[in-house]
């Protein structure tokens, strides 16, 4: 029991510790593909530390929602991290380790992020919140359809059970999940404000969604928002790895199994980061009114995956 508790704590801490590194690797990879040197992969850590030491400027019109939203967003995202197995599912003690609960915890964070953008009443915040909720309404539908396809194959909504069942299933059983995985990649890019849905490296009104909602934040609250966004990206990568490709995840609590689990997770995570980097370097930012078509495509692919599994 002590080993399981320690492993659970380790997996919870891995999310906030490793998440900024994922953002740094993507930025470095994009710079490399654009023939630039780029910043260090550890630059996101420096940015968060710098913001933690800066003073805050808060508008007089801001209510408690604006002040509390960064903490709610960060805690909700970190709570979702407690339910997602990273290197092993054996040590997960989180009682709400249901995949639907993870989806709704992330949706809660998105809801308060949009409220924070609306609270101050700025034009940028309102525009970003409107765009975010438009995208979220479709992305959540795609996410739930993908979740349903995985649950249909595994006959369980518990993430630990899903990873165990899929890792032992034959190819014909899990073949429909490849369509669901493609749909999940589209949802991942949308939920994490990546290309072609959003440009995370700009503050232009025509291209930004996520940045518009946090434009009024500064100091520690801005650091929490940026940190929570990186944790969310890390969680989606972990879900993509351990839901669709769970092979290599530790099934016992021995030291050698956990060491192999860490190594396999690192390799698969690097592959996922390369895929995101390649997509962001290859695809342009699409016009806002073309984005729903892409999300509808994700919903259709996940629905086809469900139909193939059932039939």
Q: What is the pTM of this model?
A: 0.93
Instruction: Choose among 230, 211, 198: nearest CA to 45.
Output: 230
Task: Flag whether pLDDT at 90 surpasses 60.
Answer: yes
- Residue 253's contacts (CB-CB under 8 Å, 6 or more residues apart) are 3, 4, 7, 88, 90, 91
What is the count of structural domains for the chain?
1
How confident is residue 73, by pLDDT bands cut at 50, 70 and 90? very high
Provide mean pLDDT across the span 210-236: 93
In DSSP terms, 88 is beta-bridged to 250
Task: Flag whether pLDDT at 91 surpasses 60.
Answer: no
Task: Flag whether pLDDT at 240 surpasses 90.
Answer: yes
Where in the sequence is the domain holding 184, given as residue range(s)?
Answer: 2-310
Name the phi and psi angles at 218, rounded to 5.
Answer: -155, 170
Helix ranges, 206-286 (H): 210-213, 219-244, 255-282
What is the model's pLDDT at position 34?
87
Provide mean pLDDT across the span 84-111: 79
User: DSSP class of residue 289?
Assistant: G
Q: What angle do CA 261, 240, 76 make, to 5 degrees?
A: 95
> Distance (Å, rounded) from C-alpha 271 to C-alpha 185?
13
> Mind listing the pLDDT tens digit for each residue in 115-151?
999 998 888 888 889 989 999 989 999 999 999 999 9
Residue 218: Cβ-neighbour burial (10 angstroms; 0-12, 13-18, 19+): middle
């Amino acid at each position: 029991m002590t080993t399981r508790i320690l492993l659970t704590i380790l997996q919870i801490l891995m999310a906030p510790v490793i998440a900024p590194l994922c953002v740094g690797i993507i930025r470095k990879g994009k710079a490399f593909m654009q023939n630039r040197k780029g910043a260090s992969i550890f630059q996101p850590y420096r940015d968060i530390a710098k913001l933690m030491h800066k003073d805050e400027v808060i508008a007089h019109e801001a209510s408690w929602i604006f002040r509390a939203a960064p903490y709610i967003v960060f805690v909700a995202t970190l709570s979702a991290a407690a339910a997602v197995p990273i290197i092993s599912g054996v040590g997960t003690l989180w009682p709400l380790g249901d995949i639907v609960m993870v989806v709704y915890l992330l949706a809660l964070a998105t809801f308060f992020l949009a409220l924070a953008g609306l609270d101050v009443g700025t034009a940028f915040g309102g525009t970003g919140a409107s765009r975010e909720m438009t995208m979220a309404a479709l992305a959540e539908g795609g996410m739930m359809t993908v979740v349903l396809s995985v649950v249909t194959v595994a006959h369980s909504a518990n993430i630990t059970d899903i990873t165990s069942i899929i890792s032992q299933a034959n190819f014909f059983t899990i073949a429909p999940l490849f369509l669901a995985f493609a749909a999940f990649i589209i949802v991942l890019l949308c939920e994490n404000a990546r290309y072609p849905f959003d440009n995370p490296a700009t503050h232009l009104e025509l291209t930004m969604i996520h940045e518009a909602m946090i434009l009024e934040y500064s100091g520690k609250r801005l650091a929490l928002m940026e940190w929570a966004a990186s944790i969310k990206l890390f969680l989606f990568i972990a879900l993509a790895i351990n839901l669709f490709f769970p092979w290599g995840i530790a099934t016992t609590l021995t030291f050698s199994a956990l060491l192999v689990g860490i190594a396999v997770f690192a390799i698969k995570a690097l592959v996922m980061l390369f895929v995101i980097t390649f997509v962001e370097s290859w695809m342009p930012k699409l016009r806002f009114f073309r984005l729903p078509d892409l999300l509808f495509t994700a919903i259709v692919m996940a629905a086809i995956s469900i139909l193939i599994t059932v039939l």
